[in-house]
Amino acid sequence: MPDQVAVEGRYGAEAPARDVVIRVRGLVTRFGRQVIHEGLDLDVRKGEVLGVVGGSGTGKSVLLKEILGLIRPAAGRIELLGRDTDRLSVAQRVAVQARTGVLFQDGALFSSMTVAENVMVPLKEHTNLPDALIREVARVKIAMTGLPPNAGPKYPSELSGGMRKRAGLARALALDPDILFLDEPTAGLDPIGAAAFDQLIRNLQRSLGLTVCMVTHDLDSLTSICDRIAVLVDKKIRVGTLDELLRDDHPWIHDYFHGPRGRAARHAEA
């Protein structure tokens, strides 16, 4: 693959290319005259849980959508699993998409299908497994996300918000993706449900060997399950572990982690 060699030659000094599953370089996003990201760089390493935080309107969700290929950035390059997303053929794009799973904010389940059917959609589209096995796999995924067995034949409108998220997670994990994207996974859950969901993500990440990239506002999630944290400030990203960011003297980062809520979350963790 000549493409990959060129990449390693160019950025080889920073991190071995095979350990980086998402690489964003010089990303620029503009809406009209408003600049959201300007020369943003980000590396997501294999097997880590990365939390993306930032104030409202700093473009967290936009960044997620750009990595997923739902929005085209104005400039810059995005590599997913070692491939430049801009230069993929249709077949390659589908192949990359099959290796990424996304949990949208409220699950984004197809409302005309039952939970089990929702989980079966990617399996039916991307594999030629026998039907009985697909049903079985869907059942296992639903059980692995902590839903009761009778949730399978239910429709999304019959589930609570937390259960919808679990069902969305089951669908995102249907194809055993390498990378899992989560958009505010704990928003709208009660603290106990949110903690359980955090733990679920951590467990699944360990057992399935996932790389997780999550946009979140939840300080508890950040302190309890994230290996590294990416902070969107000044149209760029600063990445570090919690300890590194605690020492950062950027005013927004300082306020974020040293504010009353940040302190409480860290206290609870310690």
Give residues in contact with another protein (CB under 8 A). 111-112, 126-130, 132-133, 136-137, 139-141, 143-144, 149-150, 152-153, 157, 173, 175-176, 203-204, 206-209
Q: Which is nearer to another protein, 51 or 146 (CB)?
A: 146
Q: Which is nearer to another protein, 129 or 268 (CB)?
A: 129
Q: How many CB atoms lie within 10 A of CB 144?
A: 17
Listed residue (54, 81, 22, 83) closest to 215, CA to CA? 54
Which H helix or E strand runs over 154?
none
Instruction: Please give the Cα distance from 156 to 175 (Å, whole number).
Output: 20
Residue 137 Cβ vs another protein, minimum distance, rounded to whole Å: 6
Which H helix or E strand runs over 98?
helix 90-98
212 Rama class: left (phi>0) / alpha (psi -120 to 50) / beta: beta
Q: Which is nearer to another protein, 176 or 255 (CB)?
A: 176
Residue 194 Cβ vs another protein, minimum distance, rounded to whole Å: 21
Q: How many CB atoms lie within 10 A of CB 35?
A: 13
Residue 168 Cβ vs another protein, minimum distance, rounded to whole Å: 15
Residue 29 Cβ vs another protein, minimum distance, rounded to whole Å: 28
Q: Which is nearer to another protein, 126 or 238 (CB)?
A: 126
Residue 133 Cβ vs another protein, minimum distance, rounded to whole Å: 5
Q: Which is nearer to another protein, 203 or 241 (CB)?
A: 203
Number of H helices, E strands in the chain: 11, 10
Hey, which residues does 30 pair with through a beta bridge?
35
